[in-house]
Chain A
Amino acid sequence: MAKTTRKTEEKSVKAVNAAKVTKAAKAKKETKAKKPVKAVKTAAVAETVSAIPVSPLVFEKPEKFEQVNHSLTKIDAMGLVCGVQKYVADVDFKDLLHIKVLGSPHAHAEIKSIDTSSALKVEGVVAIYTWKDVPRVVRTTAGQGFPEPSPYDTCLLDNKVRFVGDRVAIVAAETPEAALEACSKIKVEYKVLKPVFDPEKAMEKGAPVIHDEKDCRVPIPIFYDPKHNHCSHVETAVGDVKKGYKNADYVLERTYYPHYAQHCPIEPHTCMAYLDEYDRLVLRSSTQVPFHARRITAQTLQLPIKKIRVIKPRIGGGFGTKQEVLLEDVCGLVTLRTRRPCIWALTRAEEFMAARTRHPMVCTIKSGVKKDGTITAISMRIISNTGAYGSHALTVLSNCGSKVLPLYRADNIEFIGDTVYTNLPVGGAYRGYGATQAAYAMECQMDEMAEAIGMDPIKFRQKNHIKEGESSPIFKALGEGREGVDMAIGSCGLGKCITEGMKRIEWDKKFNKPGTGTKRRGVGMCCLMQGSSIPEIDMGAVFIKMNEDGSFNMLLGATDLGTGSDTVLGQIAAETLGCKLSDMMVYSSDTDMTPFDVGAYASSTTYLTGGAVITTAKKVRAQIEAVAAKMMGEKLEDITIKDGVCYGKGRKNFVSFARVCTYAMYEHQQFQIGAIGSHISHASPPPFSAHFAEVEVDTETGEVKLLKYVAGVDCGTAINPTLADGQTQGAVMNAISFALTEEYIFDEKGRMLNPDFGNYKIWSTKDLPVIDTFLVPTYEKTGPYGAKSVSEISINGALPAIGNAIKNAVGVRLTRPPYTAEKVLAALKELKSGSGKTVTKSKK
């Protein structure tokens, strides 16, 4: 086994080298790549093409949008509301086995022995697997590009447990009840070890070592020091912060503690496995990353990739937690060993305890500001708690800097970040991805700075925020697991987001007017940015073929997890091809049927895969134009297309798409009109947003009532404005309950006490404040039809906007969210007694 893992590592090094070669090849302008392809006979390959395609840097803007920028109905909507669309568990199998996994009751323990004999006697139990029964392959569960920037520190099953709920044994049985009963009858002898829950204490000398196994490692050359629970480290500096602080009139420092949270997709993680007619393993999974899931499952079960097919049907929300390969390995194991289909769906409690969470952090911000509003220096120091395993440990951490620090101009910036192992639930990808935590700290700090110099917080931001044509050294300094990509801002609608949002919240009327009495009101705001895809790392590919009625099948690796990306990408294809969305049949995310895509994460699908759609659709369109020109005897350059019809010069001749395809298929020089295309981006243009909150604080109980929330977003061109707006509203709502009520409550042994919707409170319709969202259109040249991302950014706003509104209402700065009534009341008391000073503020 050790050999295998080493081999994988070698491969990873090769992959890195290969990437370099690719770049070199590009630099040589494909001189060597012109090897003739076999199928030269077809007309489509008549043009000279490079074997290695080059992704376009910009996309031109059409005169008028026909299909994109229209709020067309989501293509799967009718099936969803009629209950006919299928999710993972919505198909029936004969002889289906049900899986339950016994979770650890201890936060940190060695498994001394496991006795499964009486569990195996439970009627209906078919198999039980413990760490002794499976190969030991260390890998990561993080569904990221290969080689992953996350440590290989997780096994299918291990002889050590590192958090409450960690896998101990896998049970497969005829019924879920039998599986559950068997779990209760497995006798495990633990050697309980001292746990560590506080990330700062985990770094201290003598702290319990969580990953003391010899084989944990990182697959790429990055910092990793598990012997000190130190999972990742990032450090970068621009200018000289010391000098910056010297030049400041005020220097402020404060620490913020963004908290644990769970994504709470209404559909829990679910996976089904079965063997197909060719004895291949099929995994039907609620995954955001079908291709990564295939690769990581193959790695874990030591299978060749060709033996596995991953199908993603409709999935019931993900928000990042399904970017994790959590179930596929277990289901694959059971089906391969028992040769029977199986299903595993997490319970809600397992979803909270053993799926993934938002990394809680300790964010310390120090900043220097001059009286005129110039920010002279910013130091951001992050300690991120990744829990028991290092999933997304490095990248979430670096995003704290890269998605937050470029927003405001400062000559001197310093970013130091560490990710630390603890014996708590595992962090992972969660919408916002580090930006949520750091933007909270930064945007509170912005208000504090404005207050220190006596400037309106909005004016202060307007003076300092990045604008079109400007760049930030941070873009280059901080990438994902490696250096980032330098870029200038091509589009920025933040100014308009701010001014329009101010109007809608009635800022001038409400700011600094708390009123009197027991209930005080306040408004607060924040500015945000995110990215759009991971530049020069992530890739999406698309295949389009034409049918003889003029319709198209579009096969995508991209993963619609409920966001509507199938529709959005269909609109982009229809726009490029010159037909209607209703003529696009979109099928996504099936590793056998669709080309590769990294999957749904990093705010990339519209921006990145949309680029691949344009590239591919253009190729197909060129074929249609060529056939139409031949059919009509017209010159190729005279052909125009509108609504599925090709016209000749002066629009005298025309042929429909249906005729074109029928001709190409059946009549002359027959061929399939169709193409495949890929795209990588060379930039990650930020969407921008301004959020505003109005609150009423009950000074006797500490209750915070959110009255109104306004969010304006610049996502470039909204390909489907209704869906883009829906992304904003959904993210805002999630963020609001995160800020006010969602929290993990642990006992002293590291067990979560509230792993259910009864006690972990996400909001319902009755809690809804007035929510007002709007889009500010800009045109981002590097994005398909001017689009940037929209999905993540708006989850970053509520923590700082509501925090700033509370400060405005009652004068307290809360640094330990969620802002529960108890914490607010405690802060109010502290303020009264004058002990509420936690900020180091020095005036020179």
Chain B
Amino acid sequence: MKINTTINGKKHCLDVKANAMLVDVLRAAGFKSVKFGCGEGMCGCCAVMINGKPRNSCITLAGLAEGAEILTVEGMGNPENPHALQQAFAESGSTQCGYCNPGSLIAAKALLDSNPNPTADDVKDALDGNLCRCTGYVKRIDAVLTAAKAVKKTSKTVRGKK
């Protein structure tokens, strides 16, 4: 069957098997940042934003994404022009093997989108579904708080210019 979705701002019409999981469909479409870790929605490395909400793509049937807007980290930024969260993750030492980063960044972005002034506890709550075996989470939590400040600063400057 065919599904129509918007991935990272671009429209895609994808030919998929009805029982395909979104993670496989996205990876086949070239969005390799979406990782496979457990296949049961427990580790979070496959998380993508579906209509503004971070969800596990490994247990989400691709058919559920019909008409949806999907965001992966490729759509958040690139090495030349990274998102404040990507910048903060890279600079803080929050990335070791990096395999869990795309999912964690998506979850972190969802947090900042809904709460621009998070506390450390808010961050812990928002990232509770993204397992990381390398870093021990401490630096990641700091990175999200740093990025929140950076996002606020840029949005202020933009507003100031207006």
Contact = CB atoms under 8 A, between A and B. Distances in A.
B78 interface: yes
Contact of B73 (A83, A265, A316): A83
Interface stretch (B40-48, B62-70, B154-162): B40-48
B97 A82 contact: no
Interface string B92-127: 110111111110010000000000000000011101
B134 A758 contact: no
Nearest to B97: A562
B6 to A, nearest CB: 18
A562 B105 CA distance: 17
Nearest to B129: A764
> Which residue, of B45, B78, B99, has the highest number of chain A Cβ atoms within 10 A?
B99
Interface residues on B, range: 35 or more
Contacts of A80: 90, 95, 98, 101
Contacts of A84: 33, 74, 78-79
A733 B137 contact: yes
Interface in B67-89: 72-74, 76-79, 82, 85-86, 89
Contacts of B79: 78-79, 82, 84
B135 interface: yes
A764 B100 CA distance: 12
Nearest to B126: A765
Nearest to B24: A176
Nearest to A794: B136
Contact of B90 (A71, A77, A758): A77
Contact of A766 (B74, B128, B135): B128
Contact of A725 (B74, B93, B129): B93
Interface residues of A, number: 55
Contacts of B101: 80-81, 83
A726 B135 contact: yes
Interface in A724-775: 725-726, 729-734, 756-758, 762, 764-766, 768, 771, 773
Contact of A317 (B77, B134, B136): B134
B52 interface: no
B145 interface: no
A77 B87 CA distance: 9
A266 B90 contact: no
A562 B96 contact: yes
Given A266-B37, A729-B139, A765-B124, A87 B93 contact: no
B93 A74 contact: yes
A348 interface: yes
B97 A316 contact: yes
Interface in A56-105: 71, 73-74, 76-87, 89-90
A757 B32 contact: no
B74 A82 contact: yes
A722 B138 CA distance: 12
Nearest to A263: B133
Interface string A277-321: 000000000000000000000000000000000000011110100
A714 B95 CA distance: 23
Interface in B9-66: 27, 31-40, 42-43, 45
A267 B46 CA distance: 11
Given A83-B102, A733-B137, A765-B124, A267 B90 contact: no
Given A82-B78, A563-B96, A730 B43 contact: no
Contacts of B27: 89
A729 B98 contact: no
A699 interface: no
A567 to B, nearest CB: 10
Nearest to A79: B79
A320 to B, nearest CB: 12
A264 B100 CA distance: 12
Nearest to B140: A765
Contacts of B127: 764-765
Contacts of A266: 35, 37, 43, 45, 97, 99-100, 131-133
A83 B128 contact: no
B5 interface: no
A817 B85 CA distance: 38
Nearest to A71: B93
Nearest to B77: A82
Contact of A564 (B39, B89, B91, B96): B96
A802 interface: no
A730 B136 contact: yes
Contacts of A348: 37-40
A78 B98 CA distance: 10
27 contacts: A76-B98, A78-B79, A78-B82, A80-B95, A81-B98, A81-B105, A82-B33, A83-B34, A84-B33, A84-B78, A86-B32, A265-B97, A266-B43, A266-B132, A315-B97, A316-B97, A562-B97, A722-B92, A722-B93, A725-B93, A726-B134, A729-B135, A730-B133, A730-B135, A757-B131, A765-B140, A771-B136
Given A80-B98, A768-B124, 8 more contacts: A81-B85, A83-B73, A84-B74, A264-B131, A267-B35, A316-B98, A562-B97, A758-B42
8 closest Cβ pairs, A-B complex: A83-B33, A562-B97, A316-B99, A80-B98, A729-B136, A733-B136, A757-B42, A77-B90
